[in-house]
């Protein structure tokens, strides 16, 4: 598959056209950002780790009948993906209190939730990705009601599958972000699933093995990503 012109460059990935109009090459960068890109840095080998981790997790989800944009891994930092039109909606699934939920609601980080909590954020850099609800989504015309029901159903199923998968590898899935896209009238899981988009804690030690190590200047960021890679492969 030949790499053609660059179509898009984001904070963590670059998308390239291919000689197939319905397929793209997704390249994973080492660049790291936090706090609306106010904090920037580079995590050595992050792109390599996130590409392999995402590929593995997409395969796990596909085996559990969750459709994704993933086609195959092409190399250390690249994967072939279906060319989806991203829906401007971020879905956050929370199993344990951390991050924004802790700050907004004044809850102690680490508190286990009685049931998973789903949150929606409107994807808009200019508005800093505000928290929105079902009614906002429908009024803004982001998706139709049936599509929103499908996204919600898929998100809870993804959470169930990934919690089991990570749990078997002594990792606690604290929370994670999902993005979806449209492809030939279908809604597919897109973007990536990695320590950039998931909070993952060691089950026994509660050691953070995700981007919070970068956000909070905890050190050993590269080592954390490599540890997750080692466990999921």
Total number of domains constituting the chain: 2
* Residue 47 placed within a domain: yes
Residue 37 has a pLDDT of 82
| Angle ∠(45,11,210) on CA atoms, nearest 5 | 50
Residues near 64 by Cβ (< 8 Å), separated by ≥ 6?
A: 157, 161
Write the CATH number for 72: 3.30.200.20
Q: What is the 3-state secondary structure (H, E, C) of the chain?
A: CCEEEEEEECCCEEEEEECCCCEEEEEECCEEEECCCCEEEECCCHHHHHHHHHHHHHHHHHHCCCCECEEEECCCCEEEEECCEEEEEEEEEEEECCHHHHHHHCCCCCCEEEEEEEEEEECCCCCCCCEECHHHHHHHCCCCHHHHHHHHHHHHHHHHHHHHHHHCCCEEEEEEEEEEEEECCEEEECCCCCCCCEEEEECCCCCECCCHHHHCCCCCHHHHHHHHHHHHC
Q: Residue 156: what pLDDT?
A: 98
Q: Is 90 found in the same domain as 78?
A: no
Angle between helices 46-63 and 221-232 (to 10 degrees): 30
Query: 209 and 137, same structural domain?
Result: yes
- List the structure tokens of 36: 């609306």
What residues in the chain have per-residue pLDDT under 50? Answer: none
Which residues form the domain of 129? 86-219
Torsions phi, psi for 77 (to 5 deg): -125, 5
Q: Are residues 186 and 160 in the same domain?
A: yes
Q: What is the pLDDT of residue 15?
A: 98
Q: Domain end: 42, 64, 82, which one?
A: 82
Whether residues 39 and 98 share a domain: the answer is no
Q: Does residue 191 share a domain with residue 119?
A: yes
We report the CATH number of the domain holding residue 202 as 3.30.470.20
Residue 68 and residue 90 in one domain: no
CA-closest candidate to residue 165, choices 91, 64, 71: 64
Q: What is the pTM of this model?
A: 0.96
- State the pLDDT at residue 38: 84
């Amino acid at each position: 598959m030949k790499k053609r012109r660059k179509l898009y460059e984001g904070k963590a990935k670059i998308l390239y056209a291919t000689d197939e109009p319905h397929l793209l090459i997704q390249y994973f960068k080492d660049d790291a950002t936090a706090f609306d890109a106010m904090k920037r840095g580079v995590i050595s080998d992050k792109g390599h780790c996130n590409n392999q981790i995402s590929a593995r997790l997409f395969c796990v989800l596909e085996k559990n009948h969750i459709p994704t944009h993933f086609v195959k891994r092409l190399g250390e930092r690249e994967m072939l993906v279906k060319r989806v039109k991203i829906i401007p909606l971020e879905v956050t699934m929370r199993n344990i209190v951390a991050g924004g939920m802790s700050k907004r609601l004044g809850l102690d980080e680490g508190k286990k939730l009685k049931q998973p909590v789903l949150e929606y954020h409107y994807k808009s850099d200019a508005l800093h990705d505000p928290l929105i609800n079902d009614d906002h989504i429908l009024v803004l015309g982001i998706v139709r009601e049936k599509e929103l029901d499908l996204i919600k159903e898929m998100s809870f199923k993804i959470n169930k599958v990934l919690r089991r998968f990570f749990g078997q590898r002594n990792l606690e899935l604290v929370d994670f972000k999902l993005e979806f896209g449209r492809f030939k009238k279908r809604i597919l899981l897109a973007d990536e699933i990695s320590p950039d988009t998931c909070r993952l804690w060691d089950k026994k030690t509660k050691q953070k093995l995700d981007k919070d190590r970068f956000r909070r200047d905890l050190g050993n960021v590269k080592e954390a990503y490599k540890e997750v890679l080692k466990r999921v492969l």
